[in-house]
Amino acid sequence: MKPYFILVIIGIVFIAGCVSQNGTNETIKLGATLPLTGDVASFGLDSQKAMLMAVDEINAKGGINGRQLEIKFEDDQCDGKNSVTTVTKLISVDKVSAIIGPFCSAAMLPAAPIAEQNKVILLSASATNPKITQAGDYIFRNAPSDAIQGKFAAEFAYNTLNARKVSVEYANEEYSVGVKDVFVKRFKELGGQILSTNAHERGSTDMRTQITKIKAENPDLVYLSVLAPANGGNFLTQAKELGLNVTIFSPEALNNPELITTARDASNGLLISTPKPQTTQQFKDAFKAKYNTEPIIYSDYYYDAVYLIANAMKTCGENSGCIKSELYKVKDYKGASGAITLDSNGDLDRGEYVVMTIVNQTFTEYK
């Protein structure tokens, strides 16, 4: 073998050894499971955009200790069976140490035990069912629990709207049930009367039977706890058709332009409890510049979730136990969604709410 061939081979081996040792040719991977198709895809697709925006920013600044950040996205359609599959795949095949999502409580609760057993971080920026608080040491969320929202809504209904008799309509899935249960409990504690609780499946399109029953009950208010905007839109449309002329109050999932697209003028007058808007103008402007559209609810929370994990990875690399410890240390982090502190249960330590309404098919704060 000629000497210059030997030198070339030695050089290649040397370079390969350096690259392998430093890991600079490898991305640092993060998993994500969101509803990218299905009846709540508008939430997942918007959250994905916000996450990719965060990744682009981080990578433009050198990534994480010289390594570029990459997110492996999976589509769970906000379905529990699907999320078990997506989380298992991200852990066993993609070998991620942290996963952002799932978006929905119905997908988060079944997936949490898998992440906990494998000691992999599961951080949701939107799953709000109160049961998530006790889901495990590796389970986090930077969105407020419905234990706060349901209580706020009941007190607003009783004290501000002066409702004393309420009929409840809810979708039979974890998010809708969770916030509904807290609302009902607190409303009764205040002295209010729950006339009925009526369930339908998340994909239901015909709710005329329930609406007819509710109309006969003559409530002061209807509490409509649903996840999918189209589902809520169908209820509002049919309520108008059947002459149900009563205030309807919903949790934050209906704070979505898709609701107005479905219900049109039947959406006017709807009241919605929603986390107090604290989204920074910087995030709004950057999102609009990148995607030519306004961000919808929870997009800023998912943007922040990427940064929370990435900041921990700067100290920990892909060591999930270390990332867990760093997340528990998060205090007063200035995020796009406001100040973030994670408590001893891995929950966001605050939960401020306001009420929005729809006037002329436009969302506006209720006065």
Give the mean model confidence (pLDDT) for residues 48-59: 98
Residue 19: its pLDDT value, please?
38
pLDDT tens per residue, range 158-197? 999 999 999 999 999 999 999 999 999 999 999 999 999 9
- How sure is the predictor about 25, in pLDDT bands with cuts at 50, 70 and 90? low
**DSSP per-residue string spanning 42-95:** HHHHHHHHHHHHHHHHHHHTTTBTTB-EEEEEEE-TT-HHHHHHHHHHHHHTS-
Residue 114: its pLDDT value, please?
98
- How sure is the predictor about 203, in pLDDT bands with cuts at 50, 70 and 90? confident
Domain spans, the chain: 22-143+279-340, 147-276+353-365
Give the mean model confidence (pLDDT) for residues 320-334: 98
Is the pLDDT at 5 greater than 50? The verdict is no
Residues above pLDDT 70, as percent of the chain: 93
Is the pLDDT at 23 greater than 50? The verdict is no
Residue 130: its pLDDT value, please?
95
- How sure is the predictor about 13, in pLDDT bands with cuts at 50, 70 and 90? very low
Task: Report d(CA 58, CA 345) in Å as an integer.
Answer: 28
Per the rule left: phi > 0, alpha: psi between -120 and 50, beta: everything else, 158 is alpha
Is the pLDDT at 11 greater than 90? The verdict is no
CATH superfamily membership of 22-143+279-340: Response regulator (3.40.50.2300)
Identify the bridge partners of residue 99 per DSSP, sorted by sequence position. 31, 122
pLDDT tens per residue, range 254-287? 999 999 999 999 999 999 999 998 999 999 999 9
Domains 22-143+279-340 and 147-276+353-365 share a fold: yes
**DSSP per-residue string spanning 336-360:** TTEEE-B-TTS-BS---EEEEEEET
CATH 3.30.460.90 fits 147-276+353-365, yes or no: no
Is the pLDDT at 18 greater than 80? The verdict is no
Give the mean model confidence (pLDDT) for residues 322-346: 97
